[in-house]
Amino acid sequence: MALKPRDIALRAASAVVLAPAAVLATWAGGDWFCALVVAGAVLLAFEWARMCAPRLWRPIGVAVALALVVAVIAAHVGQISLALVLMVFGALAAGLFARTRGQSALDTAYGVLYLGWPCVLLIWLRDLHEVQGLYWTVLVFAVAWSADILAYLVGSFVGGPKLWPRFSPNKTWSGFIGGLTAGMIAGAAMAGWLDMGMLTAVWGGVLGLTAALATMGGDLWESALKRRFGVKDAGNLIPGHGGLLDRVDGLMFAVVVVAAGRLIVLMLERAA
């Protein structure tokens, strides 16, 4: 894929506008971070509804958004198990509602689960412990953003064979390797720089590599979903990126991997 300066400029401008809000809310934690996740969940819900139920996207979007918001708030007040249960029942309820409107119950229910898991786990990571929660959340963002940005830049400059032309014709193997390398370095740097308990720089690099792989996988998975629904972008909210889902698709998968890593570290620390 040839490098397009206008595309890069739009992406950079969008990042300059959006990144400070995400960083400040993450730093503040608590209700501020919950508000950020809730706002993101609502926007993602309506983007999903536009893709899977374009004729009735407003009511379907409301149903998906309600299911996500309830689960996120339950996680924020420390009820993680309840949040996961509510998410499952919310998916069932949203699916049944969609069916009564003549829309796909499966697509709607899947949207709640697809969007809900990372939202709930992100809240769990940030609220787990004031300082440690901040560090682990920063690690998620650092790895996912590094992998995403370097994959785009390396793929644009170097080009080469396509990674998966059937679903994502612009992605290349060079960008894929660049993204994995960036994620591994970011994970090692965060673990070495921040006090993250038993997570050393070496294991931080391993976690970063795994999370970067998940980031690439999340990006490809969303490309496959967009191809299935016959849309080019999930939305047009962010100039240069399309919709919010186009920007956080990799992050959503990375959150799951890092949350699993955090859980393993917690178990090791308690056993020590």
Phi, psi of 165 (to 5 degrees): -60, -25
At 82 the three-state DSSP class reads helix
Cβ atoms 113, 102 nearer than 8 A: no
Task: Check pLDDT > 50 for residue 1.
Answer: no
Which residue from 39, 8, 28 is spatially nearest to 248, judged by alpha carbons?
A: 39
What whole-number distance in Å separates Cα of residue 217 and Cα of residue 108?
22
pTM equals: 0.89
pLDDT digit string, tens, across residues 61-113:
999 999 999 999 999 999 999 999 999 999 999 999 999 999 999 999 999 99
Spatial separation of the C-alpha atoms in residues 184 and 164, rounded to whole Å? 22
pLDDT at 127: 83
State yes or no: pLDDT of 243 exceeds 90: no
Looking at the DSSP bridge assignments, the partners of residue 162 are 172
* Residue 55 pLDDT exceeds 70: yes
Give me the amino acid identity at 190: M
Kindly report, residue by residue over 185-194, the tens digit of the pLDDT. Answer: 999 999 999 9
Residues 6+ apart with CB under 8 A from 42: 65, 68, 69
pLDDT at 199 over 70: yes
Residue 6 predicted with pLDDT over 90: no
CA distance 26 to 29: 5
